[in-house]
Amino acid sequence: MPFEQWLAGRIPGVDYARVSADPSARSATRRRLREAGTGVRHQHEDNLETAARLGIAIVASFEDNSMSAVNPHVVRQAFREIIAALLFRQTQDGLPVRAVIATERERVWRTESDGLAFQQAVTVMSDGLFVERGKPYEWPGPQQAVPGALSGEQEVENTRRRIGRSVRRRAIDGSSPGGRRRFGWQAADPTLGVQVNMLMDTAEWPILCKMIEAGLQGIPWKEIARRLNADGVLTASGKAWSGETVRQALVNPVLCGYRAIHGELVLDPTTGRPVVGKWDKPASVPEWQRLVEISRARGATRGTRLSNGSPKPGGTVGRPRKYLFSGTLRCGAATASADPCLQRMGGVRRPTSADPDNAVYTCTRLGCGRTARNMRSVDEYLTRMVLSVMDERRRSSPMHAVARPGAEVLRRLYEELRLLDDRLLAESGTDSALVLHRHGLLERIALLEATQTARTNGEPEQACIPSAWPDMSLAERRAAIETVLECVVVHPLPPGRSRCAPFDPGLLEIRYREWVRPVAAGSAGLAARNDSRS
Ligand SMILES: [Zn+2]
């Protein structure tokens, strides 16, 4: 059935549901008192009923599960999607949107800034409709505060955000990490102008270096702790060492001058490279990376809790990697138990006299290291596979047919602006209400254009990656690869095959992300054709 026929004159809209994770709603007393039917499913059912009653056709449903709408650090993905859909007056699939339904407005926003963003999106054109509590919502006048916003808590959040910003700014400056004294560094000494954690403590420094050395040798954290305690060495807070405190000290990026906040490395906003602090550093960057790898490998095989350390366990967020596919490749060698090793493979330079830039990907597991592959061949082959999948996806995407999202809304706003300017010109620009209206119109146009740009930049899969590839940075390429590949298992060379034999792509087992698989199947033929041509 054609879409217009299905719509049958109804208003196209989306519905939004959110299960609260706000602390107040989580408390046991509140939960007992809370009325039944606030779960996501009930909210959607309510919304569908309301939609049917008001002649709205739901073209897409959005929900944020167990998400607080108060904490500004929590990214509500569905909320962001819905803002964009309303601004552009179309969903990502290109379906029209004019209305949005929620059971109560508190489901949608709890902070003033979210409330304003939502209002701007709904009212970007005058046909926008927000339905809550079963009826169309009347927006307050411009002077009134947005209802539903928690002004007191908002203030707390603002303060928290300001503090967070200043911590990050200080980190970007490369000045002292601040906070509590760390083992190995001196405490603050205001009389000498010494900040905490900047200068080495001469007594503890050699011990810290020995700890790093032991960690790099693969000695268990517990054993390192046992030796420290046997020598009567105490932590910076004066306690005995445990395996976990040793591990935390040794995976901390401050060892090599890097800094992490909430598990993410602090990057220089202009270069995108990690900021290197000015404090004394007991380890090199590769040494610290190796310690993190060791920690991860242990956590993965023994289920150790890794949630306290930084950087984020298991994640690759913000970790500097020098090579395109390091971290994507997994070692396919069989272990003693006959299961594949599956350790992440890292890049290593192996200069030869014929090729000083030669490098290989190799298994990083202690005691394995049985799989290695020429980096240039792997990069060339996998890049071609990834780009062909992306190209296929772009051409089969409904968005490909649609122009830039929101183009139609923009066209209409510019048209309105043109008519307005004609009127102002005719009345020689004296009508203050019209001037004010024009100001608001320009603001909406700017907002829409900024959102378009942000979405195109922030979501590489929306942009035309194959043509942008040559200009993309390593980090951008790695991020794009991550959207397509789950991992690639590198199988060892079959027995008897020379290490000088030509590169064999058949030994690379590509595991695509689930939602890419149908596309990958379609583009496999294409990639194979490209293959035979090159
Ligand atoms: Zn291995």
Distance 370 CA to ligand 1 centre (A): 6
Task: Answer yes or no: do 298 and 231 share one domain.
Answer: yes
Q: What is the pLDDT of residue 443?
A: 82
CA of 326 to the centre of ligand 1 (A): 14
Kindly state whether residue 347 falls inside one of the protein's structural domains. Answer: yes
CA of 212 to the centre of ligand 1 (A): 24
* CATH number of the domain encompassing residue 291: 3.90.1750.20
Nearest-angstrom CA–CA distance, 111 and 148 = 7
Domain count, the chain: 4
List, for residues 439-474, the tens digit of each pLDDT value.
Answer: 888 888 888 887 777 766 544 444 456 777 777 777
Distances in Å between the alpha carbon of 457 and those of 178, 207, 451, 452, 478? Answer: 34, 47, 10, 9, 15
Check: CB of residue 66 under 8 Å from CB of residue 77: no
ipTM over 0.90: yes
Q: Are residues 242 and 109 in the same domain?
A: no
Determine the average pLDDT of the residues in 345-366: 84
Q: Which of 77-81, 227-231, 520-524 has the lowest mean pLDDT?
A: 520-524
User: Whole-number mean pLDDT of the chain?
Assistant: 76
- 375 versus 304: the higher-pLDDT residue is 375
How much distance in Å is there from the Cα of 151 to the middle of ligand 1? 55
d(CA 482, CA 486): 7
Q: Examine the domain organization and report whether 430 and 488 are in the same domain.
A: no
211 and 232 belong to one structural domain: yes
Region 360-364 average pLDDT: 88
| Same domain for 146 and 79 | yes
What is the whole-number distance in angstroms between the Cα of residue 299 and the centre of ligand 1? 16
What is the Å distance from ligand 1's center to 486 Cα?
Answer: 18
pLDDT of 396 reads 62
Question: Are the C-beta atoms of 453 and 425 separated by less than 8 Å?
Answer: no
Phi, psi for 281 (deg, rounded to 5): -120, 125
| Span from the CA of 355 to the centroid of ligand 1 (angstroms) | 26
CA atoms within 13 A on the CB side of 335: 12
The tokens describing 215, both together, are 């960690």
At 287, which helix (H) or strand (E)? helix 285-302
Q: Lowest mean pLDDT: which of 191-200, 453-462, 488-497?
A: 453-462
For residue 360, tell me if it sits in a domain: yes
513, 485 contact by CB (below 8 A)? yes
Q: Does residue 324 sit within a domain? A: no
More confident residue, 419 or 457: 419
Q: Which residue has the tokens 């690869």?
A: 481
Does 151 score more than 60 pLDDT?
A: no
Express each pLDDT in 325-341 by its tens digit. 988 999 999 888 888 89
pLDDT mean over 34-50: 73
pLDDT at 37: 43
| pLDDT, greater one: 65 or 323 | 323
**Same domain assignment for residues 109 and 201:** no
Distance, in Å, from the CA atom of 371 to the CA atom of 360, rounded to the nearest integer, reads 10
Q: Does 423 reside within a domain? A: yes
- Residues 491 and 352 reside in one and the same domain: yes
For residue 352, report the distance from its CA to the centre of ligand 1, in Å.
24
Ion ligand 1 neighbours, Cβ < 5 Å: 331, 333, 341, 343, 363, 365, 368
Distance 406 CA to ligand 1 centre (A): 49
Residue 43 belongs to some domain of the structure? yes
Q: Which of 323, 319, 326 is nearest to 267 (CA)?
A: 319
Q: Can you tell me the mean pLDDT for 409-424?
A: 85
Do 477 and 368 fall into the same domain? yes
- In angstroms, what is the span from residue 334 Cα to ligand 1's centroid? 8
Residue 51 region, left (φ>0) first, then alpha (ψ -120 to 50), else beta?
alpha
State in Å: Cα 199 to ligand 1 middle.
Answer: 39
Q: Which of 227-231, 268-272, 387-391 has the lowest mean pLDDT?
A: 268-272
Cα separation of 361 and 346, whole Å?
Answer: 5
The rounded Å distance from CA 369 to ligand 1 centre is: 5
Domain of 76, in residue numbers: 3-152
In the chain, % of residues over pLDDT 90: 20
334 and 434 fall within a common domain: no
Amino acid (one-letter) located at 508 = L
Looking at residue 507, what is its pLDDT? 94
Question: Separation of 298 CA from ligand 1 center, angstroms?
Answer: 14
**Given a cut of 70, is residue 177 above it in pLDDT?**
no
Q: Are residues 217 and 200 in the same domain?
A: yes
pLDDT score at 225:
94
In angstroms, rounded to a whole number, what is the distance separating the alpha carbons of residues 223 and 81? Answer: 50
Contact 98, 12 (CB under 8 A): yes
478 and 343 inside one domain: yes
Q: What percentage of the chain carries pLDDT values higher than 70?
A: 72
Are residue 82 and residue 23 in the same domain, yes or no? Answer: yes
CA of 335 relative to ligand 1 center, distance in Å: 8
CATH number of residue 106's parent domain: 3.40.50.1390
End-to-end CA distance of the chain: 45
Q: How far is the CA of 345 from the centre of ligand 1 (A)?
A: 8
Q: Please, are residues 90 and 96 in contact by the beta-carbon 8 Å criterion?
A: yes
**pLDDT band, very low/low/confident/very high, at 212 (cuts 50, 70, 90):** very high
| Distance from the alpha carbon of residue 342 to the mean position of ligand 1, in angstroms | 6
Q: Is the pLDDT of residue 166 over 50?
A: no
Residue 312, in any domain of the structure: no
Q: Does the pLDDT of residue 306 top 50, yes or no? A: no
Residue with tokens 């009653």: 53
- Type and span of the H or E element at 532: helix 517-533
Whether 263 maps to a domain, the answer reads yes
Give the tens place of pLDDT for each residue, 71-103. Answer: 665 667 788 889 989 999 988 878 889 999 998
| Position 95 in a domain | yes
Which of the listed residues 152, 179, 201 is the one where a domain comes to its end?
A: 152
- The single residue listed with the structure tokens 């041509």 is 533
